[in-house]
Amino acid sequence: MIVDAIPPQAWIALPLAVSALAPAAYVWRYFTHGLKPRDITLPPEDLSWKSGRHLLFCLASLTGLLAIGGFAFTEWAEDFARSEWLAPALLGAVGSYALGTVVPGWRNGEIRPLIRGSSRSYSRAEQPRRYWASLIWNGAIGLALTVGSLGIVYGNTKPACDYNGDEEELFEAVATCNAMLADHDLDVEKRADLLGDRGRVHHRLGNNHLALLDYSKAIELEPGDSYALFNRALIHRELRDLPNAIEDLDASLAIRPENDRAYLERGLANLDLGRFEEAVEDFTLLHNRVPDHPYALANRGLAYAWMDDELNAQNDFDRVGKNQPGWVVVLHGKAVLARNRQKHRESIDYLSQALEIDPDDYFALRLRADAYWEIGENDLARDDDDRSIALEAGN
């Protein structure tokens, strides 16, 4: 997205630059005024706008803004710009400034409306309608932004049953979920939602069995929750319970057929089960829905390779670019085709290319170990077996 491409410092520097316009304009006008010869035939000039006190105020403001601008290009500022505190800080700053114009405007009988910028002010004596409209406008804007800022701060600090955050925040979220679920007056829909949220927290923490229990309880309460069914299917896949994963994906897609990822996950589960025709069907459905999906053709080609359908497999592989995410799957499929022809050296070459891209590629290690055993290179076969066993144990 375009917003993501904007440097984080820009989100701090931009409001600073806008805030500096008015004091900078005043300082410039103050020091440049009178440099040009004045026509002495004209009436005496009104210099009431010239104020040494206001000049000092503007210079102090510019100094402060420059200091903050320098801070904006430090690593601490970048962290702040990416944090959840940037929005309330900006809203609070603008809101405080807007409210800060109301009291002086009331006392002095003159105010500059924010909607018109800072270049023109209205006097209570000379322009009462515009003065009162500006006073009310600045107060309303300031109050709204300040309340919005405080609301965001409250939302950021209030404990929530939320699955976004680091590990410490996730443990806090579990405690919050537990406390919220202890409320016996929750309606069925809210309890199901909270169970689903806690399931996602457990999943993020790697507690798959606890996540599975939460999703199952949520589905008992709301059998038509396609999201809970899909998420439970992911847990089943990770636990290698593929039949139940497919069953949940079938149910989820029956409710929400537009979930493209569910077709991919079901195809992968069918592939792992050796149900290659069903896998081809799922990957074809995905390809028809999302023609540029990076994994649809690659995985369909892999399914064709396991079926020893070299023509269709190669047709799919030829349509996947080398730099696309699905290229590793293509290398797997080419290795399977070579294996089917007993070309073990060629299969090893493809799998080694895959491992250069991802050294923890479990599939490539297992298949390459088998190829090494076939050609009698037992030490290399054992090395790959040991690495794949270690990866499996780590999961």
Which architecture does CATH list for 258-328? Alpha Horseshoe (1.25)
Torsion on CA atoms 365, 371, 373, 375, rounded to nearest 10: -150
pLDDT for residue 118: 45
Q: Is the dihedral of CA 16, 18, 20, 23 positive or negative?
A: negative
**329 neighbors 298 (Cβ within 8 angstroms):** yes
At 300-317, the pLDDT tens digits run 999 999 999 999 999 999
258-328 against 342-395: fold identical: yes
Please give the structure tokens belonging to residue 324.
């696309």
**pLDDT of 108 above 70:** yes
**pLDDT of 157 above 60:** no
Q: Which CATH number fits domain 159-257: 1.10.10.60, 1.10.1330.10, 2.30.30.100, 1.25.40.10?
A: 1.25.40.10
At 237-261, the pLDDT tens digits run 999 999 999 999 999 999 999 999 9
Q: Rounded to whole angstroms, what are the CA distances from 220 to 26, 189, 190, 194, 215?
A: 68, 11, 13, 13, 9
Which carries the bigger pLDDT value, residue 270 or residue 81? 270
Instruction: Reduce the DSSP state of residue 110 to 3 states and report it.
Output: strand
Please report, for the chain, the start and end positions of each structural domain, with discontinuous segments joined by +.
2-30+56-114+123-157, 159-257, 258-328, 342-395
**344 neighbors 375 (Cβ within 8 angstroms):** yes
User: Cα–chain-centroid distance for residue 184?
Assistant: 34
Confidence of residue 32 (pLDDT cuts 50, 70, 90): confident
Which carries the bigger pLDDT value, residue 97 or residue 358? 358
Ramachandran class of 225: left when φ > 0, alpha when ψ lies in -120 to 50, beta otherwise: beta
Q: Checking DSSP bridges between strand 110-111 and strand 122-123, what pairing results, if any?
A: antiparallel
Q: Determine how many CB atoms are found less than 10 A away from the CB of residue 385.
A: 17
At 64-84, the pLDDT tens digits run 878 777 766 666 655 655 566
pTM score over 0.85: no
The CA-CA-CA angle for residues 259, 262, 265, to 5°, reads 155
Domain 342-395 carries which CATH code?
1.25.40.10
d(CA 111, CA 107): 10
